[in-house]
Amino acid sequence: MRAIGVLPNEKDAKAFAGFLLSLKIQTQLRAGKDGTVIWVLHEDRVDEAKQEYQAYRENPNDPKYESTEEIVRRVKRDMQAKEKEFQKNYHDLSHYWNYELIAPRRRPITILLVCACVAVGFFTRLGDANPRLIDSLSIASHEIDETGVVVEPFAKLEQIRAGEIWRLFTPALLHFGPIHLLFNILWLYSLGGIIEARRGVLRLAMIVLLSAAISNLAQYYWSGPNFGGMSGVVYALFGYMLVQGWIYDDATMRLNPRTINLMMIWLVLCMLNVFGAVANAAHLIGLASGLALGMEPARTKL
């Protein structure tokens, strides 16, 4: 979604938006400092919409802007019918993706994080080897004694206080089992990729770093240092998109209800220990941090 211009009069903005809709160019109107901002929802129609906007500014009294009401009603009916059919057959996030969104150059941080998770999984054999690497990436050094009790050789978070700040974030790269890794990187690529493409590299980096640190600390104080996984970050990305898509009504960030149901059902099942020991504190605090970060007004990257 991209802003193409501002019209000082809301009535004029609505008339122009109706004209664009008659061309099957979907828009959103938002109040701005200098008037009503016109946002075009689909990247592939932005250039055409900009040309029409310029033409409107040059000649706003052109009769073609006054004779679109019936066309708009017909287009709206057609679009609503198509949307109902689309929702009936929808199963994943793919309606948010076009070439521009899935192109690697639009999601470098997302791809870097996925590669880092896979690389750490490979070198640790998903938690079964390389204890020195696992220890260096954990939030705190620890070992498990013969009775299964986690033993920390240092005082709580002493290493982080001594300067090993990376330990706040790197537990997110540790995964224990192929399903654990696959689940997290698929959701990371889907949700993170959309946010990065729509909000930019810095926004995604901020969400990932803050949610990783907060959710890792929460899990540490809840159950100790023996944990890992990107799921706290994944739930933060999910929470961010929930707020941006549904509260701020940004169609480009709106999750399908099936996706929302799946993520919430998974959250509840994990809390019920259906899948054994799971970092539930990281899930819940990650989700809460994402919801909080999403409360900023929508700022789509232009």
For 247-281, the pLDDT digits (tens) are 887 777 888 889 999 999 999 998 888 877 789 99
Q: What 3-state class would DSSP assign to 208?
A: helix
What does the alpha-carbon distance between residue 45 and residue 2 come to, in Å, rounded to a whole number?
Answer: 10
Q: What 3-state class would DSSP assign to 86?
A: helix
Cβ neighbours, 10 Å, residue 28: 18
For 191-250, the pLDDT digits (tens) are 999 999 889 999 999 999 999 999 999 999 998 999 999 999 999 999 999 999 888 877
Contact present, 50 and 4 (Cβ < 8 Å): yes
Domains of the chain: 2-89 (3.30.70.2350), 94-293 (1.20.1540.10)
Amino acid of residue 132: R
Contact present, 114 and 185 (Cβ < 8 Å): yes
Determine if residue 205 is left, alpha or beta; phi over 0 gives left, psi from -120 to 50 gives alpha, anything else beta. alpha
Cβ neighbours, 10 Å, residue 178: 10
